[in-house]
């Protein structure tokens, strides 16, 4: 079972958490004692760094700690943003079902931008080929059935930038 | 190019098993290395190599901006082909632009550039959008998240 994504409560950071985010947003130090290294830079103890990271993990401020692969480099050369026009009154039902498919990595309700953009449900699908992605998109189309009035798949043709979060060191 | 980097079985194991759950303990690389059946120094060297080769974009915490009171916003533009590289440089020059992808669709969708703005407030994101519009002379269409149904980007290695 895949649990639905938790609703996001806004939690602000205190000054030390914020400094820790800034110090780690580019990555953890690649040294045997990375938390000790961060503690030296922040002027606190390694124990405090670890406690704060654990707390941010538990609060969902940190989703996870580890490797963030470039999905192209690990074989997912086809990355399709599938977009769907479904009735607003059914979107939560369909969003939940589509998000529960094991090949969907992100699933959101976003606004339509008429007349250019009639789609309100976005589901990201990754695969080793466009054919594989399109086969998965067909599974979503079957799931939505007649409720889906139109859909499209936008394949990424190039990563232009990928740096992740960068919050500034000011204020 | 990252597509051509050769990965051995240990590299694959590192990428697959360390996408989450990295220990929060005094010597976390040693703990993670033991669980992978390799040495700490080997793990550190391999992570550095995977980062240098851009097989990994980062190694560290993956933050959920909204939980910090911040904002992640998907936005799109239609960039005329003749202005493509100029507009790429312009959009990428903003530190708030966390990801930027060129996309195409079989249905000739109007939007060919899709990027994610990550910042600390709605106001900061709105300012960035306005500055991109002013500098490029092109409209930016925002697609705010109305509801998140699922997010988990962990993928098995296929390379």
CA gyration radius for chain A? 20
Whether residue A83 is found in the same domain as residue A143: yes
Q: Which of B2, B103, B113 sits opposite A72 (nearest CB)?
A: B2
pLDDT at A167: 64
Closest approach of A34 to chain B, Cα-based (Å): 8
pLDDT at B109: 83
pLDDT at B56: 94
ipTM of the complex: 0.79
Which residues of chain B fall below pLDDT 50? 1-3
Domain-embedded: residue A110: yes
Whether residue A97 is found in the same domain as residue A44: no
Parent domain of A41? 15-58
Q: What is the CATH number of the domain that holds A53?
A: 1.10.10
B138 touches chain A (CB under 8 A): no
**Percentage with pLDDT > 90 across chain A:** 70
pLDDT at B159: 64
Whether residue A32 is found in the same domain as residue A84: no
Q: What mean pLDDT, rounded, does chain A reach?
A: 88
CA B35 to chain centre: 27
Domain-embedded: residue A96: yes
Which strand ranges, in their side-by-side order, compose the sheet holding B71-77?
A: B141-143, B71-77, B113-119, B97-105, A150-162, A78-85, A121-127, A104-109, B147-151
Q: How far is A162 from B97, CA to CA, in rounded Å?
A: 8
pLDDT at A5: 39
Whether residue A90 is found in the same domain as residue A146: yes
Cβ of B62: how many Cβ atoms within 10 Å?
A: 18
CA gyration radius for chain B? 19
CATH among 3.40.50.2000, 3.30.70.920, 3.40.50.620, 3.50.50.60 for B65-143:
3.30.70.920
Give start and end residues of each alpha helix (H) in chain B. 9-17, 28-36, 40-52, 84-92, 122-136
Whether residue A82 is found in the same domain as residue A54: no
Whether residue A154 and residue B105 make contact (CB cut-off 8 A), yes or no, is yes
List pLDDT tens digits, range A45-86: 999 999 999 999 999 899 999 999 888 888 888 989 999 999
**pTM, two decimal places:** 0.79
pLDDT at A3: 40
Mean pLDDT of A91-120: 94
Q: How far is A108 from B118, CA to CA, in rounded Å?
A: 17
Whether residue A109 and residue B28 make contact (CB cut-off 8 A), yes or no, is no
Under the banding of pLDDT at 50, 70 and 90, the label for residue A38 is very high
Whether residue A53 is found in the same domain as residue A94: no
Q: How far is A80 from A136, CA to CA, in rounded Å?
A: 10
pLDDT at B157: 80
Axis-axis angle for helices B40-52, B9-17 (nearest 10): 90
What are the chain B neighbours of A7 within 8 Å (beta carbons)? 148
Domain-embedded: residue A43: yes
Q: Where are the domains of chain B?
A: 2-52, 65-143
Higher-confidence residue of A2 and B16: namely B16
Quickly tell me which residue has 């390694």 as its tokens.
Answer: A46
Q: What is the CATH number of the domain that holds A136?
A: 3.30.70.3460
- Is a pLDDT exceeding 50 seen at residue A94? yes
pLDDT at A39: 98
- Is a pLDDT exceeding 50 seen at residue A9? no
Closest approach of A147 to chain B, Cα-based (Å): 18
DSSP string, A66-132: EEEE-TTTTT--EEEEEEEE--GGGHHHHHHHHHTSTTEEEEEE---BTTTB---EEEEEEESSHHH
Whether residue A65 and residue B105 make contact (CB cut-off 8 A), yes or no, is no
State whether residue B20 is helix, strand or coil.
coil
What are the chain A neighbours of B105 within 8 Å (beta carbons)? 152-155
């Amino acid at each position: 079972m895949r649990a639905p994504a938790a609703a996001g409560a806004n939690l602000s950071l205190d000054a030390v958490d914020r400094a820790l985010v800034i110090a780690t947003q580019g990555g953890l130090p690649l040294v045997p004692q990375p938390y000790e290294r961060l503690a030296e830079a922040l002027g606190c103890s390694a124990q405090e760094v670890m406690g704060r990271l654990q707390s941010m993990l538990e609060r969902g401020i940190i989703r996870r700690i580890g490797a963030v692969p470039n999905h192209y480099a690990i074989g997912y050369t086809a990355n399709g943003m599938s977009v769907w026009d479904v009735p607003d009154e059914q979107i939560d039902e369909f969003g939940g079902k589509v998000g529960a498919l094991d090949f969907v990595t992100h699933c959101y309700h976003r606004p339509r931008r008429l007349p250019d953009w009639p789609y309100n449900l976005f589901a990201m699908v990754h695969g080793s080929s466009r054919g594989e992605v399109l086969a998965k998109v067909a599974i979503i189309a079957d799931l939505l059935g007649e409720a889906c009035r139109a859909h499209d798949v936008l394949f990424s043709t190039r990563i232009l930038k990928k740096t992740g979060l960068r919050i500034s060191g000011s204020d | 190019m990252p597509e051509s980097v050769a990965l051995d079985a240990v590299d694959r194991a590192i990428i697959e098993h360390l996408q989450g759950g990295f220990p929060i303990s005094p010597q976390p690389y040693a703990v993670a290395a033991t669980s992978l059946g390799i040495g700490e120094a080997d793990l550190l060297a391999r992570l550095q190599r995977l980062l240098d080769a851009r097989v990994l974009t980062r190694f560290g915490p993956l933050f959920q901006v909204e939980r910090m009171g911040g904002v992640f916003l998907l936005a799109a533009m239609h960039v005329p082909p003749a202005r493509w590289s100029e507009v790429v440089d312009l959009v990428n020059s903003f530190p708030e632009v966390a990801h930027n992808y060129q996309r195409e669709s079989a249905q000739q969708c109007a939007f060919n550039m899709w990027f994610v703005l990550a910042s600390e407030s709605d106001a900061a994101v709105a300012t960035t959008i306005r500055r991109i519009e002013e500098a490029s002379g092109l409209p930016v269409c925002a697609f705010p998240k109305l509801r998140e149904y699922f997010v988990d980007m962990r993928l098995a290695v296929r390379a």
